[in-house]
Amino acid sequence: MRRTLWGRASSVNVQKVLWTLDELALDCARIDAGGRHGRVDTDEFARLNPNRRVPVLDEDGFVLWESHAIMRHLAAGAGGPGSGQPRLRARADQWMEFTVTTLQPPFLALFWQLVRLPEARRDPGVLRARRPELDAALGVLDDRLATTTWLAGDDFTLADIAAGSLMHRITDLGLADTGLEALHRWHRALGARPGYRAHVATSYEELRRA
């Protein structure tokens, strides 16, 4: 099967898929798209994803967008984490949904304020408003990880990849209180995984605007 992933390696949503591919030991070509690479504005790309967002997976013409859908598809096809264990899979899904609805929105708002927007367009009011939301979400993760090794339980799952893909930038920007001991213990465990080191713990300087 010929598998291609469209998306720039600096995107956290692309990183989630790259890390998943690494965990599953699946081969995949990658085409840079989005950000400074452009391409998402072309008609060709709109036919792949009408939202003009990355990542997009193409498997012999089967085209799929939305990072979490892509991760689940890859894991299901490769007999990855959660396959054949419906409750583990459901618990992992719960934390993946939490990531996309509760953790990622305040993180992205803060990331734009601290990194992506030029100084003149930053708004301290956004930082003040969204920081408590991120703190609350990280507190929920910390409480969970105080009782389990990984987010879904004893096993590493896609939930750890989904939420864990944000952790490099969150900690690098000093947004995770040092008192969140379980969260930091989990983050260190993620750091021992080659896929995290190769695809997530990477520079985001190309995204910075002065």
Ligand X SMILES: N[C@@H](CCC(=O)N[C@@H](CS)C(=O)NCC(=O)O)C(=O)O
Taking the C-alpha atoms of residue 6 and residue 30, their distance in angstroms, rounded to an integer, is 6
CB of 34 to ligand X, least distance (A): 3
Instruction: Give the shortest CB-13-to-ligand X separation in angstroms.
Output: 4
Distance CA 122, CA 29 (A): 36
Decide: 149 and 172 in contact? Cβ < 8 Å: no
**Distance in Å, CB of 55 to ligand X, minimum:** 6
By CB under 6 A, name the binding residues for ligand X. 11-13, 34-35, 40, 53-55, 66-67
- Looking at beta carbons only, is 97 or 177 nearer to ligand X? 97
Task: Give the nearer residue to ligand X in terms of CB position, either 51 or 83.
Answer: 51
Dihedral (CA of 115, 116, 119, 123) sign: negative
Of residues 55 and 142, the one with the C-beta less far from ligand X: 55
Q: How does DSSP classify residue 181? A: H
| CB of 17 vs ligand X, minimal distance in Å | 8
- Taking the least distance from each CB to ligand X, the nearer of 13 and 20 is 13
Which residues on adjacent β-strands are paired with residue 56? 6, 65
Q: Which residue is nearest to ligand X (CB)?
A: 34
Distance of CA 81 to the CA centre of its chain: 17
